[in-house]
Amino acid sequence: MPRVGLHQDRAQTAHDTGNHPENPGRVAAIVQHLAATGLRSALVDIAEREATAADLLLAHDAALLRLVERAEAAGGAWLDADTVVLPGSAAAARRAVGGALQAVELVLDGALDSAFCADRPPGHHATPRRAMGFCLFNQAAIAARHAIARRGLSRVAIVDFDAHHGNGTQEIFYAAGGVLYCSLHEYPFYPGTGHWRETGAGAGAGATVNLSLPAGSGDAAYLAACDRVLLPVVRRFRPELVIVSAGYDAHLADPLADMAVTAAGYEGMARRLVQLAGDLCAGRLVMVLEGGYRPAALARAVELTLRAMLGEPAHEAPPAGPVQPAVERLLSAAAALHSLG
């Protein structure tokens, strides 16, 4: 059986946002569900670790670190209409980053085949200079930079299936070489970025792939987007590590998006990504939790993701059906833009 790690840091409860959609109940639901299904015992615990300032500076400016620290020292502050810093928030965010770094280290060292980091706050909206969209520090981006700058990798792929475009991750790598960023997301939607024509610049030209799907796309569209564009692009890039910004807010039941993906759709995407990593980079796959704001739906989708990572047989089959004409046009245009046959 594959050795699959799980990181879940107790410090996340200190980022207690109350009735905010991004709250400690999200991770609690995942942990409780994994215990109830018996799946928790099949996973290897990943030790807790707090990221250092040097770690955070791999993707962020020092000004952002100071902003978060000042907000916490003042007893808390809203950094924008969605994003709050409270006493304990900075440590929770640093430890979420630390978990991603631990996971990457263990996977690259061969101690684990793959890993899932069930941590919060999420990270993919955090830009080099700005915390936004519930996110303080960008753990997927920092983990990718760590793998390249400190572990000597040349190519890392980040796949992002959160319903919201990961504008922070895109900005960090848009003009940089070595990292392929691929995003499936609702468009037009928050944060307003991620049009399919946004493909990178300079050393990063062609290394940003946006599949800006219309609302209501559902399982068939997501899996077709994977099969026809995302997976071929990643295969051509041949990464040495795959990092996934695993956001589950495209779920049919989620209150913050309108994408109509089911647990079966998430399982289908997870199985494709596990196979992809197995084919390209000895199975080296690290998943980092992003969105997902209906706790029961989130927990079930994470369960099926982990079952795919553990190599279990498929549990749910996505419903068959054609994609919307608008999705068909998008996929054809994106395939042509990225020179896919």
Catalytic residue numbers read: 125
Element (H, E) at 11: none
The CA–CA distances, whole Å, from 164 to 7, 18, 26, 133, 143 equal 23, 22, 17, 9, 20
Q: How many CA atoms lie within 13 A of 276 on its CB side?
A: 28
Name the token pair of 4. Answer: 């699959």
Closest CA to 246 of 274, 221, 224: 274
Bridge partners of residue 156, in order along the sequence: 179, 241
Q: What residue ranges in 34-132 does DSSP mark as E strands?
A: 44-45, 77-78, 84-85, 114-117
List CB contacts of 127: < 8 A, sequence separation 6 or more. Answer: 138, 167, 168, 171, 172
Answer whether 262's CB lies under 8 Å from 253's CB.
no
Name the token pair of 318. Answer: 């996505």
CA distance 305 to 316: 11
Closest CA to 196 of 243, 238, 228: 228
